[in-house]
Amino acid sequence: MGVLTTGQDQASQVHYAPLGKDLQQLAIGQVKKMTLNGTPLAA
């Protein structure tokens, strides 16, 4: 989930606006719900 956390430091280098802390936490929560054949994709 580095792209949602530490990767935000690089957002301005590629002309993207970084996600706010609240939105980062919401996105991480959604990623943690994702599964493949019943196995979570993220811990």
Question: What's the whole-model pTM score?
Answer: 0.74
With residue 31 as reference, give the H or E element that holds it.
helix 21-32
Measure the CA–CA gap between 5 and 20, rounded to whole angstroms.
10
What one-character DSSP code corresponds to residue 8? G
- State the pLDDT at residue 15: 92
Q: Which of 35, 37, 21 is nearest to 8 (CA)?
A: 21
pLDDT tens, position by position, 1-43: 888 889 889 988 999 999 999 999 999 999 999 999 999 999 8
Distance CA 18, CA 33 (A): 23
